Structure formats: C-alpha cells, structure tokens
Amino acid sequence: MKLMITCRQAARLISAELDRELPWLERLALRGHLLICKACPTFRRQIRLMDQAMGRWRAYVDQGE
Amino acid sequence: MSDLPALLETLRPQLLRYARLQLRNEAWAEDAVSETLLAALEKPEAFAGRAQPKTWLIGILKHKLVDQVRRHARECSITDEDGEDESLEDALFSASGHFREAPTDWGDPQAVCTQTQFLQVLDACVEKLPKQLGRVFLMREWLELETEEICKELSVTPTNLWVMLHRARLRLRECLQLNWFGLQPEAR
C-alpha cells in the first residue's frame, strides 16, 4: 500500500477500522490523509456516529417496546 | 404460566419483522419465528418472572436466525449483485478519488442517537439495504457475529466481507443524509 491515498481509499479504511485492526502501514496512510484532507475527517465522524446509532438501534430492537 | 401464549401472540409480529429484516426471505423468517415460539413454549419456567420477556425472546430468535443462515448457506452465498458492484463508490468519488460532494457535519452523536424519530429513520434505512448487503450488515451489527464467523457461514473472503460492510455503510449514510441530516429540523 502506498502512503499517499485518495479519499476513496481513505473511506474504505475508515470503515475497516470498525471491523478489524488496521496494520500500521494502513494506519499511517490514513493518519497522513486525515491531516491534509477536509472531507475525510467529517466522513469519519459520520461513520462513527452511524456506529453509535446502530448500537442504539440494537438496544431499541432487543429491549425496546 | 398461562399468559405466555398471549404474550407470544403479542410479540410475534415484531419477531417476524426483525426476522425478515435479517434473513430477507419470508419463508425462512416464518421458520425462525416458529422455532423461537416453540422453544419458548417448551420452557415456560424460563419465562416466569422475567422483567423483560421480549429481550429473552429476541435472544432465542437470534440463535434461530443464525441456524437459518447456516441451513440456507448456499442460497445466501454472495453473488455479483452486491459483491462486485463498484457503482456506488463511482457515484460518490470522482475519477481522481475525491469526494464529489463534501460530507456535511452531522452534529453531536449523543444528541442525534437518543432521538426516537432518528432511530425510526435509521430502521427504515436498514430495511432499504439490498438483500445481500442487509443480511451481511445485520449479521455484524445486530447478531454481533465476528467477521471470521460471517465469512465461514457465507463462504466469503474477509476482503470481500469488508468491502460489503463498507458498501452497506455508504448506502446507509446516503439514506440518512437524504432522510434526516439533509432535512431542515422542522421537516424531520
């Protein structure tokens, strides 16, 4: 994996963070990208919000009325 | 416990709805729910005195849903329908790999996620996921299976699974943008 990645590639890594531990090279590439990109940090906050929301949804399905 | 059948009758529609959401197949969903109700009726003593009978039933249902996925593994296997489709990413990103439209600020997660109306929109968006993506996404997010187990049950490679989970999230994100975050607060 190259160190300079596009938003499209960064978005995949941002999603992958939720499913697996990223190897250091991918972590580094993502970190570097997040420092120079305006869109991807916002995208990452959205994805994390969705992750929290799914936790709420799960509680709502499993325990809610 | 004489009111167990009545309770099951009341909760059955909900169980069926979530079974459909997970399995995306009417007949399998019916089977999973029937097996759940039978298991519950066999153990009235487990039901007695429970403060949260629904939680108990959903717990049983989740096991039966995994059984159904296993039983129908071949029909659940991933086809090109969702497995190889890159059109969603092509629509979101330019040829140079940049976002075509900059993502917008969705605000404070805590404030958003505690709103029941938001959860209902999320629920509808999950329902709208294409069959295979929805199945995979909920195996992960609702049944809370480890990725290794999902790969095993559906005979997919980890890479393929990660790509599918990513696509499911991208679709969900689009749906939430359209039906919640993109709307004026008074229109929600």
- Residue identified by tokens 């153990």 is B43
Evaluate whether B20 touches B61 at the Cβ level (below 8 Å).
no
Residue A5 has pLDDT above 60, yes or no: yes
pLDDT of residue B184: 80
CATH of the domain spanning B77-187, picked from 3.40.630.10, 1.10.10.10, 1.10.3720.10, 1.10.1510.10:
1.10.10.10
CA distance B180 to B117: 9
C-alpha to C-alpha distances, B23 to B59, B68, B71, B99, B176, nearest whole angstrom: 16, 8, 12, 33, 22
What is the distance in angstroms between the Cα of A29 and the nearest Cα belonging to chain B? 15
B105 to A11: CB separation less than 8 angstroms, yes or no: no
Q: What is the pLDDT of residues B25-52, one digit of tens each?
A: 999 999 999 999 999 999 888 777 777 8
CA distance A55 to A50: 9
CATH number for the segment(s) B4-74: 1.10.1740
Domain limits, chain A: 7-63
The whole-model pTM stands at 0.91
A6 to B96: CB separation less than 8 angstroms, yes or no: yes
What is the distance in angstroms between the Cα of B98 and the nearest Cα belonging to chain A? 5
Using alpha carbons, select from A50, A15, A1 the residue that is nearest to residue B163: A15
Q: What is the mean pLDDT of residues B178-186?
A: 89
Q: What is the pLDDT of residues B72-97, one digit of tens each?
A: 988 877 765 555 578 889 999 999 99
Evaluate whether B72 touches B28 at the Cβ level (below 8 Å).
yes
Domain limits, chain B: 4-74, 77-187
